[in-house]
Amino acid sequence: LPVVTALGALPFVALAGVFASARVARHRLVAEPLRLLLRGGDTVRLRVGRRVTLDLDIVTPLGVTVHELLAEPAAASPLVATAEPQEGRGEGDDPRSHPFRLVIGGDRVGDYVLLGFHVRAAVVGGLFEVRVWAPAELRLEVMPRHFPVRSDAELRATRASMQEHSGAIVQRRRGLGMEIRELRDFQAGDPFKHIAWTASARRGKLISREFESDLVLSTWILVDCSPSMFWGPPGEARIDYAIELAHNLAHALTSRRDRAGLLVHDHRVRLQVPPAAGRHQMRHIIEALTEIPHLVHEDRTEITDRELVERVSRWFLTQEGRSFALPEGLVKAGSPRLSQHDEGRLIEAAQESLHDVPTRRGRRPLLPYDGYASDYQRSVLRAFCRYKGIPLPLDPTPRPGGQSHGLEAAIQAVMAARGGPHTIVAVSDLTSIDDLEPLRRTALAARRRHHSLVLLCPDHHGFDLAETEPGADRLQDAIIEVERLRMRQNLALARTMLRPGGTVFLSVGPEDALARVLARLSQVA
């Protein structure tokens, strides 16, 4: 009987040992973080829509035997990432190292951070699965796509500023300079003073002289970042088209030693890059364009102060293992409206972390840390979220009359800028452009100062949200149709009121090639 009893107890003892081994393995995996070895550095730069493959090794702690390891990147839209395990190890490879092939990319221009991986480890012969979080900080810089533009698709110099090129390289073009470019047949509209009478008498027809021009074409590119510009999936929204158009237009201008500037606005001006020429100017414009998806100001996001504090506190807990939660007894004794975190220490920690941002990024932030909210402490937390890759939801609701007031403020900022006259190319969908009278007066004032205004409107229905199957969601179909009708009405009203002031309108869709749009701009600028 004692022998039988002992034999019957063996399965229970073995099962208890298995559970104990699983608990030990889980404790080791949680207490000692997994090491992530990423080949290629901690910063990846690529074009929007592209994917890059990186080699990743996940190293488990000593004393823990892992039979299978799976990793899922914590990637939120527009970041796209997958991790696939690689088969086979070399003879000299560490048995604790698990190789993965990380495929990562971005569907929208911006500066993003992959915060870590959700790891599932099969331990104790694969009988138990342990789930742990492996923190990381892989930065992904998604650049706009560049489309080659023909050399003849360039903006005219009729709105050039009266300044000479600075530098040894000068791009010659047609204009009103002193040097003769060529002799050609007389065309309707050519000044009679440009007729070459000697050549005309020799050839028996009117010949006109064409001169070189060394004037600099000065262009301001105005990009609207209102909520309606973000409607639609990342990579297919109006804001994505506007960013790529602004990038390619600025590149076409600066490559010819012309001056290009950028202004980003919604209902007010957010970013400004004064017009200049050269390679460094293009770098400044790209930095401003990549900042557009990260304008997490308090009037642009849909998040409460308590949710903001909780997100920052959760980041410190998961990434650095630091807890700022108040004791449970103190929380229960206080008011339900009080925060559950030590906000004073949390803000100090966020400020200390922000001090290293210029060093890690290699450049200074475009916006000050106190410019995201009216309250300094909340502004610091929002700046922390922006540079640490903590997503904050954008408010999709347009502000009534916001685009008209924002475009008015942007044009006034251009008129107040140095230099000029300028060609102003504004990109906006005009969804909430209700009050047009102030904008009309501003456009007339710009024309009196010899500025040229071109309004490029991505109003095609191809930019709208993905349509459902007929009858699948009638409410969504009705909402989309109402927005289309309202946008067409606003565009028609804007054309009626702004065209007498010299404003030129161009309507584009997602199928329009950017090179073709730039060619159309050259005809009207």
DSSP calls for 422-479: -EEEEE---TT----HHHHHHHHHHHHTT-EEEEEE---GGGSPPPPPTTT-HHHHHH
Same domain, 288 and 410: yes
If asked whether residues 112 and 206 sit together in one domain, one would say: no
Structural domain contains residue 433 = yes
pLDDT of residue 150: 47
Query: DSSP state, 293?
Result: G
Q: Are 422 and 454 in contact (CB under 8 A)?
A: no
For residues 336 and 447, state if they share a domain: no
Which residues span the domain enclosing 373? 305-388
- If one counts every other C-beta atom within 10 angstroms of the C-beta of residue 240, the result is 28
Query: What does the block give as tokens for 9?
Result: 């107890």
Angle between helices 376-388 and 305-319 (to 10 degrees): 50
Q: Which of 94, 122, 143 is the last residue of a domain?
A: 143
Q: Report pLDDT for 521.
A: 64
Residue 220 to residue 283: CA distance in whole angstroms? 16
Residues 281, 301: Cα–Cα separation, whole Å = 30
Largest Cα–Cα distance in the chain? Answer: 131
| Burial of 261 from C-beta contacts in 10 A (0-12 / 13-18 / 19+) | buried
Residue 214 CA to residue 194 CA, distance in Å, equals 18
pTM: 0.82
* Cis upstream peptide for 78 (omega within 30°): yes
Q: What is the CATH number of the domain that holds 464?
A: 3.40.50.410
Q: How many CA atoms lie within 13 A of 325 on its CB side?
A: 12
Number of neighbouring beta carbons within 10 Å of residue 367: 17
Q: Is residue 162 part of a domain?
A: no
The residue among 103, 129, 216 whose CA lies nearest residue 166 is 216
Assess if residue 312 is contained within a domain: yes
Q: Are residues 403 and 501 in the same domain?
A: yes
How many domains does the structure of the chain reveal?
A: 4
In a domain, 46, yes or no: yes
Question: Of 388, 422, 438, which residue is a domain's last?
Answer: 388
Flag whether 310 is in a domain.
yes
Residues 376 and 314 in one domain: yes
Query: Does 453 map to a domain?
Result: yes
Same domain, 458 and 514: yes
**CATH code where residue 85 lies:** 2.60.40.10
Minimal CA–CA distance to 140: which of 114, 177, 172, 164? 114
Q: Are residues 425 and 286 in the same domain?
A: yes
Residues 196 and 131 in one domain: no
Nearest to 114 by CA among 74, 85, 55, 54: 74
Residues 236 and 271 in one domain: yes
Tell me, yes or no, whether 39 lies in a domain: yes
Which sign does the torsion angle of CA 328, 329, 330, 331 carry? Answer: positive
Q: What CA–CA distance (Å, rounded) separates 184 from 208?
A: 5
- At 135, the amino acid letter reads P
**Coil, helix or strand at residue 3:** helix
Residue 9 lies in a domain: no
Q: Which among 388, 418, 440 is the end of a domain?
A: 388
User: CA separation (Å) from 260 to 28, 256, 263, 361, 419?
Assistant: 57, 11, 10, 25, 12
Asked if 439 contacts 433 with a C-beta cutoff of 8 angstroms, the reply is yes
Are 236 and 199 within one domain? no
* Separation between Cα atoms, residue 446 and residue 453, nearest integer Å: 8
Say if residue 287 is in the same domain as residue 433. Answer: yes
Give the integer Cα–Cα distance in Å for 151 and 174. Answer: 13
- Helices marked H in 230-363: 238-254, 279-291, 305-319, 328-333, 343-354, 357-361
Residues 323 and 401 in one domain: no
Specify the pLDDT at position 128.
83
* pLDDT per residue of the chain (525 residues) written in tens, 0 to 9: 454 455 566 776 777 777 777 777 777 777 787 888 888 777 889 999 899 999 999 988 877 888 889 999 998 889 999 999 987 655 556 778 889 999 999 999 999 999 999 999 988 777 888 899 999 989 999 999 876 544 444 444 334 444 444 433 344 444 444 567 678 888 876 788 889 999 999 999 999 887 765 556 789 999 999 998 998 889 989 999 999 999 999 998 898 888 999 999 999 999 999 999 888 999 999 999 999 999 999 999 999 999 999 999 999 999 999 999 888 777 676 666 677 888 999 999 999 999 988 767 677 888 999 999 999 999 999 999 999 999 999 999 888 888 989 999 999 999 999 887 889 999 998 887 777 888 888 989 998 888 889 888 887 666 765 444 555 567 777 777 777 787 778 788 888 888 877 888 888 877 666 666 666 666 555
